[in-house]
């Protein structure tokens, strides 16, 4: 191994696991951020030139002018379908094109007509369709206000911090001849000589960080814009950060940074950049939810300020007593290094409206195969095929189900991806077939850094096709990563992505089989010897610099990989691809995880707000179960770095079992941590946590189906379902799975109890373990032991489970269901049952989707998709009704008109009614009727009356004869 890499690995894998913050820039060390942040509010130089306004049926355009340098910008404003507004700002005549992000939007968003309501010398007023919705465009200084009635919903450039660094010629170097010709032919492309002379500042044309110099051939090109949110104190989103769910103000520190980076064991509760960047923010108060989607793939910083920040509860009470009428307001400023301003304003007004609006732009969560929703066993690395077989057998021996076992980088032939170590994994198909025989699967890692080796087929093909990213001088860009010297494919090229996808074909990826899926790691991209452990910004992707596309690189890697898995099956099988780096739209291609976390209590605790934040911006397939001295967002169970104590390990499994992506992962240098290695008592606790996951797979799978259809998060903050309850707005230690399960994991060492907030004034909640009923709108103290996972089912819901747990999810496909019916105060409940084949795209037309409802003592199943064709052998084995009264008789009526009695038990102390083996098919229509004695008497009376009526009629007929 090359000496440089050996030295780097010695540092990387040393006993010091904490992140070295000095390897990553602050705002002051990022020249464009420092320049933009130095601008003062209230001094906007931008003015709207109303005489240039053009209004068509679909958009408004007009020019803005910077009165300091006379540079003109082009503003485009669109009213979009679904209660959204789009604002684009670009240079009117740039020296060269500026980067606009492709491929993230699923289509060009459809527009709706804009109409002019009024205009004068100060501005224009436009209608957004609804009578009360309008946009006020003010001319001097330029400003946009979006109104709902008399209320300002959102303002753009209200603080005057719009900034747009125009492309220009460097004064102290030889001019680019082509650009110079353009300037001479078109004086408007360059500011007039008479304008105020602009001064170059440090970092505008070249910037050095540590030993790395960024040549900046295009000079300064930053863009920024501020947004004001009157009435808002809570904003969320812009992942990925290891921070609270509710975003903090940043006035006294760095802004939140969005720049995909390989951050080795990240620090908690700060705005540092991590592995992914989704430039979407949600704002919420009791009246409305809105969202802002800033479509820019360059390095971005987000500043947040608030007029209520820092006020204590006493201070707010004092304001109220003194009659202060100051409206709370949050101000947000987005700053990006390059590109254009392209922003989508999602006007809600409900949280679910915002989810739907964002999904209409970037798509919904990919619908994974059922197996991917099960448990994943992973570490860096399982040593060889015999090790894999032993771990697989260990799960059977200890009666713990799992679906996937994972292989990290050591399974390859010298870190050459798409290969197998010829000694340790000599017969990979034999290994995969052994797993397949048990209805289990494997995930193998395929990273996007390619070993530079003339004997390596993948490298040779990429080089011969000129698919590598280029350095600033035009040669292939090379950096250091796990293989040593590595090249980086240019995934921004569609032809490169097509070629990459073709490499997953069974005749290309030798040793692969249908039950082998893929993990894309290190795709920020990670470059060990690069600036901030990533790629130089002046590397080239065709005509574009890496600075323009950085945050979208990982998105493209996962896109190409997912397409490869789809193509290899002829478009039949749903893929599973895990990615570490991500961007807006990554939800369309698979799962993410929270990265290289640590086996520490605080990392367990932070996994909850991290996954909640991702769900709010469309990425539902997240988790965080990793235990290690060094890594895994799903959150890696156990923590990737350091070794957990047994209490932490158990609590992490219990938490991970209720997060969308459930994987245990560990670092190379940590002791083995398979679930049975910590003593019988802890093995039993872990087994129970994993089995709880598997019993709930029907409900989890239904939530993934809904996320795929609607864009709503699976794991969601309480305020999503209770948007008018301020007590929920900052909660981050508990969450909902869908609407109906509330989970409050135990995340404190030595905890003997937790306090959970149960929302809903007229709501009841049932402990899923004890069936005890609790009223909503209260803080409830719950004593806990090591076996406790506080979970509550919402009154008014019906949740399907499969109680018979087998070795994998596929083994449970035809098993029977148990329905848990939790009655609300009105003694009603509703739920759904969704079934398909669990692994193919046939779900688009072949599935079962049924509505389950309980009202008037009748439980019924109704077909929600009569056009869909699918059948199942699963049946209803048991029905458990919580909050029930004791019936005297239970009748089942099936779709063929047959009636039969159902046996039951009733626990009067807990008001729980259990119906045993009603036996109807899960895909059929049926009704289960609970009858009490008084109802039976009434039924008998009605029968007698009907019989007497028939007799009377017969007598009358005989009399007539």
Distances (CA, A) of 454 to 400, 464, 635: 45, 11, 38
User: Given this model, what pLDDT does residue 776 score?
Assistant: 99
Q: At what angle do helices 697-710 and 680-695 cross, to 10 degrees?
A: 50
What does the pLDDT average to over 156-162?
A: 99
Other Cβ atoms closer than 10 A to 621: 31
What does the pLDDT average to over 729-740?
A: 99
User: Given this model, what pLDDT does residue 598 score?
Assistant: 85
Q: 162 with 142: CB under 8 angstroms?
A: yes
Residue 618 has pLDDT above 50, yes or no: yes
What does the pLDDT average to over 195-212?
A: 83
* Residue 589 per-residue DSSP state: G
pTM over 0.95: no
Residue 2 has pLDDT above 70, yes or no: no
Residue in 600, 599, 580, 598 with CA at minimum distance from that of residue 590: 580
User: Given this model, what pLDDT does residue 958 score?
Assistant: 40
Which range, of 19-23, 60-64, 259-263, averages the lowest pLDDT? 19-23
User: Given this model, what pLDDT does residue 959 score?
Assistant: 45
Q: 50 with 75: CB under 8 angstroms?
A: no
What does the pLDDT average to over 61-86?
A: 98
Of 897 and 337, the one with more pLDDT: 337
User: Given this model, what pLDDT does residue 751 score?
Assistant: 98
Residue 242 has pLDDT above 80, yes or no: yes
What band does 638 get if pLDDT is binned at 50, 70 and 90? Answer: low
User: Given this model, what pLDDT does residue 669 score?
Assistant: 80
User: Given this model, what pLDDT does residue 58 score?
Assistant: 87
Residue 725 has pLDDT above 90, yes or no: yes
- What's the pLDDT tens digit per position in 98-149? 999 999 999 999 999 999 999 999 999 999 987 789 999 999 999 999 999 9
Residue 449 has pLDDT above 60, yes or no: yes
Q: 56 with 78: CB under 8 angstroms?
A: no
DSSP H helices in 269-350: 313-321
Q: 432 with 404: CB under 8 angstroms?
A: no
Strands (E), 337-369: 341-346
Residue 478 has pLDDT above 70, yes or no: yes
What does the pLDDT average to over 159-176?
A: 86
Q: For the chain, list the domains and their CATH numbers.
A: 46-164 (no CATH), 370-698 (3.20.20.80), 716-786 (2.60.40.1180), 813-938 (2.60.40.1180)
Number of Cα atoms under 13 Å in the Cβ half of residue 451: 21
Of 185 and 618, the one with more pLDDT: 618
Residue in 912, 836, 916 with CA at minimum distance from that of residue 876: 916
One DSSP character per residue, 732-785 reads -S-EEETTTEEE----STT-SEEEEEE--TT-EEEETTT--EEESSEEEEEE--
Residue 189 has pLDDT above 90, yes or no: no
* Residue 614 per-residue DSSP state: H
What band does 433 get if pLDDT is binned at 50, 70 and 90? Answer: very high
Residue 833 has pLDDT above 50, yes or no: yes
What band does 955 get if pLDDT is binned at 50, 70 and 90? Answer: very low
Return the structure tokens found at 65: 């002018």
- What's the pLDDT tens digit per position in 367-424? 999 999 999 999 999 999 999 999 999 999 999 999 999 999 999 999 999 999 999 9
Which range, of 285-289, 301-305, 621-625, 729-733, averages the lowest pLDDT? 621-625
Residue 6 has pLDDT above 50, yes or no: no
- What's the pLDDT tens digit per position in 488-535? 999 999 999 999 999 999 999 999 999 999 999 999 999 999 999 999
What band does 1 get if pLDDT is binned at 50, 70 and 90? Answer: very low
Q: Are strands 450-451 and 151-156 parallel, antiparallel or unpaired?
A: unpaired
The catalytic position among 596, 636, 740, 836 is: 596
User: Given this model, what pLDDT does residue 796 score?
Assistant: 99
Residue 781 CB contacts under 8 Å (≥ 6 apart), including other chains: 753, 754, 755
* CA–CA distance, 145 with 210 (Å, rounded to integer): 43
Residue in 122, 125, 180 with CA at minimum distance from that of residue 147: 125
* CA–CA distance, 775 with 861 (Å, rounded to integer): 28
Q: 902 with 890: CB under 8 angstroms?
A: yes
Dihedral sign of CA atoms 835, 836, 839, 840 in order: negative
Which range, of 130-134, 278-282, 612-616, averages the lowest pLDDT? 130-134
Of 629 and 252, the one with more pLDDT: 252
One DSSP character per residue, 631-665 reads ---EEEET-SBS---HHHHHHHHHHHTTSSSEEEB
Return the structure tokens found at 196: 């105020």
User: Given this model, what pLDDT does residue 957 score?
Assistant: 41
Number of Cα atoms under 13 Å in the Cβ half of residue 745: 28
3 state DSSP class of 813: coil
Distances (CA, A) of 723 to 282, 289, 352, 385, 409: 13, 8, 10, 51, 45
The alpha carbon of 452 is separated from its chain's Cα centroid by a whole number of angstroms, namely 34
- What's the pLDDT tens digit per position in 641-688? 444 689 999 999 999 999 999 999 988 888 888 999 999 999 999 999
User: Given this model, what pLDDT does residue 861 score?
Assistant: 99
* CA–CA distance, 55 with 59 (Å, rounded to integer): 6
- What's the pLDDT tens digit per position in 574-602? 999 999 999 999 999 999 999 888 889 99
- What's the pLDDT tens digit per position in 845-901? 999 999 999 999 999 999 999 999 999 999 999 999 999 999 999 999 999 999 999
Residue 625 CB contacts under 8 Å (≥ 6 apart), including other chains: 607, 632, 634, 635, 636, 637, 638, 652, 653, 655, 656, 659, 662, 663, 664, 665
Residue 526 CB contacts under 8 Å (≥ 6 apart), including other chains: 262, 449, 481, 533, 534
Q: Are strands 516-520 and 441-445 parallel, antiparallel or unpaired?
A: parallel
Mean residue pLDDT of the chain comes to 92
* CA–CA distance, 878 with 888 (Å, rounded to integer): 18
Which range, of 70-84, 128-142, 605-619, averages the lowest pLDDT? 128-142
What does the pLDDT average to over 58-65?
A: 97
Q: Tell me whether residue 521 is one of the annotated catalytic residues.
A: yes
Residue 16 has pLDDT above 50, yes or no: no
The catalytic position among 342, 521, 538, 548 is: 521
Q: What percent of the chain has a predicted confidence (pLDDT) above 90?
A: 84
Return the structure tokens found at 553: 């690189």
């Amino acid at each position: 191994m090359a000496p440089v890499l050996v030295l780097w690995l010695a540092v990387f894998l040393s006993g010091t696991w904490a992140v070295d913050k000095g390897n990553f820039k602050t705002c002051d060390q990022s020249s464009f951020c420092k320049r933009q942040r130095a601008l003062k509010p209230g001094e906007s130089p931008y003015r709207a030139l109303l005489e240039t306004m053009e209004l068509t049926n679909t958009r408004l355009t007009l020019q803005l002018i910077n009165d300091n340098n006379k540079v003109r910008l082009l503003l485009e404003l669109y009213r979009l379908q679904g209660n959204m507004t789009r604002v684009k700002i670009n240079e009117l005549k740039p020296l060269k094109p500026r980067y606009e992000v492709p491929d993230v939007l699923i289509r060009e968003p459809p527009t709706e007509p804009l109409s002019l309501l009024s205009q004068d010398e100060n501005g224009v007023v436009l209608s957004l369709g609804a009578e009360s919705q309008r946009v006020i465009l003010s001319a001097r200084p330029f400003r946009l206000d979006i109104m709902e009635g008399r209320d300002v919903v959102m303002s753009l450039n209200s603080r005057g911090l719009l900034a747009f660094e125009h492309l220009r010629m460097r004064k102290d170097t030889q001019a680019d001849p082509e650009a110079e010709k353009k300037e001479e032919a078109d004086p408007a492309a360059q500011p007039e000589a008479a304008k105020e002379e602009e001064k170059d500042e440090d970092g505008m044309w070249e910037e050095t960080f540590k030993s790395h110099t960024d040549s900046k051939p295009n000079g300064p090109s930053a863009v920024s814009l501020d947004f004001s949110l009157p009435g808002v104190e809570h904003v969320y989103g812009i992942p990925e950060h290891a921070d609270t769910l509710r975003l903090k103000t940043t006035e006294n520190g760095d802004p939140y940074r969005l720049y995909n980076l390989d951050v080795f064991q990240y620090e908690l509760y700060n705005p540092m950049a991590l592995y992914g960047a989704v430039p979407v923010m949600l704002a919420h108060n009791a009246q409305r939810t809105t969202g802002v989607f800033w479509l820019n793939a360059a390095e971005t910083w987000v500043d947040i300020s608030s007029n209520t920040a820092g006020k204590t509860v006493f201070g707010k009470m004092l304001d109220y007593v003194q009659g202060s009428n100051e409206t709370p307001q949050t101000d947000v400023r987005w700053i990006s290094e390059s590109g254009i301003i392209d922003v989508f304003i999602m006007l809600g007004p409900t949280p679910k409206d915002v989810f739907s609006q964002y999904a209409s732009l970037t798509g919904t969560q990919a619908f994974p195969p059922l197996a991917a929703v099960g448990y994943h066993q992973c570490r860096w690395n399982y040593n060889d095929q015999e090790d894999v077989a032993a771990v697989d057998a260990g799960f059977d021996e200890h009666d713990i189900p799992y679906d996937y076992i994972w292989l990290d980088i050591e399974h390859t032939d010298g870190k050459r991806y798409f290969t197998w170590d010829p000694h340790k994994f000599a017969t990979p198909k034999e290994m995969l077939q052994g797993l397949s025989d048990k209805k289990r699967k494997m995930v193998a890692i395929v990273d996007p850094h390619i070993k530079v080796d003339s004997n390596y087929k993948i490298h040779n093909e990429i080089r011969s096709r000129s698919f590598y990213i280029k350095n600033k001088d035009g040669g292939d860009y090379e950096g250091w990563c796990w293989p040593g010297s590595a090249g980086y494919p240019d995934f921004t090229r569609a032809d490169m992505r097509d070629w990459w996808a073709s490499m997953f074909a069974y005749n290309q990826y030798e040793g692969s089989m249908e039950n082998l899926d893929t993990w894309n790691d290190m795709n920020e991209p990670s470059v060990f010897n690069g600036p901030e452990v990533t790629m130089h910004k002046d590397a080239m992707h065709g005509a574009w610099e890496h600075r323009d596309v950085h945050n979208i690189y990982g998105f493209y890697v996962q896109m190409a990989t997912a397409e490869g898995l789809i193509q290899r099956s002829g478009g039949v099988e749903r893929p599973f691809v895990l990615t570490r780096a991500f961007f807006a739209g990554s939800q369309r291609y698979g799962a993410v995880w929270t990265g290289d976390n640590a086996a520490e209590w605080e990392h367990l605790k932070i996994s909850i707000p991290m996954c909640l934040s991702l769900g709010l911006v469309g990425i539902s397939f997240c988790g965080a179960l990793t235990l290690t001295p060094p890594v895994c967002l799903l959150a890696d169970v156990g923590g990737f770095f350091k070794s957990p104590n047994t209490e932490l390990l158990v609590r992490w499994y219990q938490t991970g079992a209720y997060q969308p992506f459930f994987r245990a992962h560990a670092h190379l240098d940590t002791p083995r941590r398979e679930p049975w290695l910590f003593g019988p008592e802890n093995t039993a606790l872990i087994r129970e946590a994993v089995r709880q996951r598997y019993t709930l797979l029907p409900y989890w799978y239904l939530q993934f189906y809904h996320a795929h259809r609607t864009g709503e998060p699976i794991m969601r903050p309480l305020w999503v379902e209770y948007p008018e309850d301020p007590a929920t707005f900052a909660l981050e230690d508990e969450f909902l799975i869908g609407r109906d399960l509330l989970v409050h994991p135990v995340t404190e060492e030595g905890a003997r109890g937790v306090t959970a907030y149960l929302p809903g004034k007229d709501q009841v909640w049932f402990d899923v373990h004890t069936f005890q009923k609790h009223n909503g709108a209260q803080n409830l103290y719950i004593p806990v032991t090591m076996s406790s996972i506080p979970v509550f089912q919402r009154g008014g819901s019906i949740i399907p489970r499969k109680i018979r747990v087998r070795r994998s999810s596929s083994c449970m496909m035809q098993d029977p269901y148990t329905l848990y019916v939790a009655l609300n105060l009105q003694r009603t409940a509703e739920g759904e049952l969704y079934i398909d084949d669990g692994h193919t795209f046939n779900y688009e037309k072949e599935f079962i989707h049924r509505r389950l409802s309980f009202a008037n003592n009748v439980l019924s199943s109704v077909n929600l998709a009569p056009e869909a064709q699918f059948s199942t052998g699963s049946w209803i084995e048991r029905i458990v009704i919580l909050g029930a009264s004791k019936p005297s008789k239970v009748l089942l009526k099936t779709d063929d008109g047959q009636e039969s009695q159902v046996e039951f038990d009733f626990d009067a102390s807990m008001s729980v009614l259990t119906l045993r083996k009603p036996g109807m098919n899960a895909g059929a229509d049926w009704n289960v009727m609970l009858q009490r004695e008084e109802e039976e008497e009434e039924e008998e009376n009605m029968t007698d009356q009907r019989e007497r009526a028939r007799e009377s009629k017969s007598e009358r007929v005989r009399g007539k004869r």
